[in-house]
Structure 1
């Protein structure tokens, strides 16, 4: 009797996980800076990205001025302490004095221009007005040449570039622009972002009281923190709310968003479940790449195009969505605005905790700085525990396969650096 040949078992090999660095490089390669720029009031430029460099038409300070309330002197007239000199003039900020006569001093105030021939300022605490000798002052301290004088141009020289194209403006940068007379700045256009929430299990806070939540329902937290971060990054957010788990509703929302957005951002809904309609809808209208990234939390990630709009799908678990946004979406949005510095700068700090469970993936651990100059670890590092991102003030970027012992130096990224 002939026996049938054995049928060899076959399996489809999963593609290897993509490293975060490779995923970020591929993502940024798609992020061409948006066309167009706009002129805004310097008052309203916080967080915007400069579309052109700022060059100073003047020097700051415009002339030598006093950095202290006191008396402008010729140092040669005060060769020793206890000199008694006549006050020949009074110079307030915004006023101009005359050349200082030999053997006299000028009463001067902070920010006032230094009169010609004066070469030092003695602060008023080292001087005493002589009651028995009206109009004279007693100089109790011998000044150093140039003491308490801010030199013309020591902050900004005329013709120098003070802010660079592609720089994201901070409050200090706005103040610097104002100091050289810039009342308006040319900045990159705001990215227009369509925000989607998908899933029939999602409920908006306020729609249903906690005691009346149906089994399996959850409040939509991702929509709130993603919108908040997008607004902080200077994006225009079009919130499409919760899209029902229906193919036609998903297609219609994507069509509408693609016509008016630079980026469509979703969380969840890109797996292979029968009720996950985002993936096939994006593929029907455009293109989609699904990546499995070697990070924890946040392995699943999707990038594609719907028409001319970029599409990014984040994981559904809140901490996975939060971390993946910070390490991938944030740099992408900055690149769209033409920013030159898109990745955060970690700080070397000491771990005041043990993390013996080395993972095959690169980990982002939620931590908090303590009063001893080190980092404490949140006890529960689950991807569903959003409490960890509230308790913590940053994340440790821990390489794959690396355990941590108390006292080790780790790479800390404060949330203030990325949010």
Structure 2
């Protein structure tokens, strides 16, 4: 039996396939004002109702001309002006030019715009000093950016700060989007203490909810924080029942390992079913996935790094599919040279925290130091994961490893 085939430890690739094969996108949609739609996933294609730009316009400050008028002279008097929002509408006599500004509508009959740097204003008019003039030079034609009827954003795209102004340029005021998935989450454990209170012997502060909530928001979902739940079976069961009545997904932190007071797994078996439990991943082995009567369930390990890592690697793609986000892609793996060694034992895919840089055009990476699943400072220092394969052992300096640069959800 191979080291990575130990009973009970499912490879993360298999776990991801099992999760995603069961998840169906939310069908409920909303119509929202564009200003309120940031972060939502489109429920239908955005089609452009207009051409952008809607008219031929100038790409430069300069002078609109007819090229034929410069065949016999290099100086043309100015017949008028065309500004953005104030086009030239008078009759345009032959043998004259029109002063024009960037974005202004091109006068009818114009076949080139000469930038003002290539001209000189004289008593006789404008002297054109450019030797060669190309037809349509410095003219942005109608529909140069977007044609009427173009699909500018497809169904399944998540609206970003770059998309909103682009849609606004089309005059579209409202968009149809998928309802954001609701994710209820809570921490479990008698040892956990709320922030701002003095620690008693054997207690620690509950930091996991402060890592989970921003990730849920950055994933494009609506968080529902149910707080800290003590290690009491009845209270835990009541919290699960409340959570699944409020949310599409229930995420817990802690309570899925093998300790005597870890009741989450037992309660899940009462209220639903467990799809899998315990993965060949480090940190994060006691990750659980299953289904309650009215919601999906993801049980994160209690250690802070393990909780954030499994949210990022495993829960993020699941929530993307639930939200209908068809444009979502997994973080790209990039080869990098190690500047120092990495400790590793065969058996589990290891996500170590690293700091990458580029030296002489090559990605290089070093460890953030302490790789304990309880040492969150290493996550704060990191800008990538060093992903070491299940069967791989210790890595020496100078070897090639695969790194995953953090995506926007971790920044």
What's the TM-score, normalizing by structure 1?
A: 0.88
1:304 to 290, 297, 303: 290
Cα distance change on mapping 1:123 and 1:350 into 2, 3 Å: farther
- Distance (Å, rounded) in 2 between the aligned partners of 1:207 and 1:356: 38
SS at 1:237 equivalent: strand
Q: In the alignment, is residue 154 of structure 1 matched against residue 164 of structure 2?
A: no
Structure 1 residue 306 displacement after superposition: 2.0
- Distance (Å, rounded) in 1 between the aligned partners of 2:327 and 2:15: 18
Structure 1 residue 126 displacement after superposition: 2.0
What is aligned with 2:109? 117
SS at 1:259 equivalent: helix
Please tell me whether the aligned partners of residues 85 and 138 of structure 1 are also in contact (alpha carbons under 8 angstroms).
yes
- Distance (Å, rounded) in 1 between the aligned partners of 2:119 and 2:345: 68
Mean alpha-carbon deviation: is it higher for 182-191 or for 362-371? 362-371
1:154-206, Cα deviation, whole Å (9 max, x unpaired): 21111111110111111111122111111111111111111111001011111
- Distance (Å, rounded) in 1 between the aligned partners of 2:401 and 2:109: 55
After superposition, where does 1:255-274 map in structure 2 within 5 Å? 255-274=241-260
1:314-370, Cα deviation, whole Å (9 max, x unpaired): 111111111111111111111111111333241535335234545432222322343
- Distance (Å, rounded) in 1 between the aligned partners of 2:407 and 2:105: 43
Cα distance change on mapping 1:351 and 1:41 into 2, 3 Å: farther
Please list every run of at least 4 consecutive aligned residues from structure 1 whose deviation after the TM superposition is greater than 6 angstroms.
Answer: none
What is aligned with 2:355? 368
1:391 to 381, 399, 405: 381
Q: In the alignment, is residue 36 of structure 1 matched against residue 38 of structure 2?
A: no
Q: In the alignment, is residue 242 of structure 1 matched against residue 233 of structure 2?
A: no
Q: In the alignment, is residue 20 of structure 1 matched against residue 38 of structure 2?
A: no
Please tell me whether the aligned partners of residues 358 and 401 of structure 1 are also in contact (alpha carbons under 8 angstroms).
no
1:97 to 81, 88, 102: 88
Please tell me whether the aligned partners of residues 100 and 118 of structure 1 are also in contact (alpha carbons under 8 angstroms).
no
Q: Which runs of 5+ in 2 are unaligned?
A: none
SS at 1:363 equivalent: strand
Please tell me whether the aligned partners of residues 40 and 158 of structure 2 are also in contact (alpha carbons under 8 angstroms).
yes
Cα distance change on mapping 1:348 and 1:148 into 2, 3 Å: farther
- Distance (Å, rounded) in 1 between the aligned partners of 2:14 and 2:78: 70
1:243-299, Cα deviation, whole Å (9 max, x unpaired): 111011101111111112111101110123221111111111111234222222222
Q: In the alignment, is residue 350 of structure 1 matched against residue 336 of structure 2?
A: yes
- Distance (Å, rounded) in 1 between the aligned partners of 2:191 and 2:401: 42
What is aligned with 1:287? 273
Q: In the alignment, is residue 61 of structure 1 matched against residue 35 of structure 2?
A: no
1:46-85, Cα deviation, whole Å (9 max, x unpaired): 21111111111111111111111111122333459x9211
SS at 1:335 equivalent: helix
Please tell me whether the aligned partners of residues 81 and 87 of structure 2 are also in contact (alpha carbons under 8 angstroms).
no
Cα distance change on mapping 1:75 and 1:389 into 2, 3 Å: farther
SS at 1:366 equivalent: strand
Please tell me whether the aligned partners of residues 358 and 364 of structure 2 are also in contact (alpha carbons under 8 angstroms).
no
- Distance (Å, rounded) in 1 between the aligned partners of 2:264 and 2:342: 38
Q: In the alignment, is residue 108 of structure 1 matched against residue 87 of structure 2?
A: no
Cα distance change on mapping 1:408 and 1:120 into 2, 3 Å: farther
What is aligned with 1:181? 171
SS at 1:171 equivalent: coil
- Distance (Å, rounded) in 1 between the aligned partners of 2:265 and 2:371: 28
Cα distance change on mapping 1:404 and 1:121 into 2, 3 Å: farther
- Distance (Å, rounded) in 2 between the aligned partners of 1:78 and 1:355: 71
- Distance (Å, rounded) in 2 between the aligned partners of 1:138 and 1:204: 76
Mean alpha-carbon deviation: is it higher for 156-165 or for 269-278? 269-278
What's the TM-score, normalizing by structure 2?
A: 0.90
Mean alpha-carbon deviation: is it higher for 310-319 or for 118-127? 118-127
Cα distance change on mapping 1:343 and 1:404 into 2, 3 Å: farther
- Distance (Å, rounded) in 2 between the aligned partners of 1:303 and 1:242: 20
Q: In the alignment, is residue 320 of structure 1 matched against residue 273 of structure 2?
A: no
What is aligned with 1:197? 187
- Distance (Å, rounded) in 2 between the aligned partners of 1:275 and 1:398: 32
RMSD: 2.3
What is aligned with 1:140? 129
Cα distance change on mapping 1:199 and 1:163 into 2, 3 Å: same
Please tell me whether the aligned partners of residues 57 and 159 of structure 1 are also in contact (alpha carbons under 8 angstroms).
yes
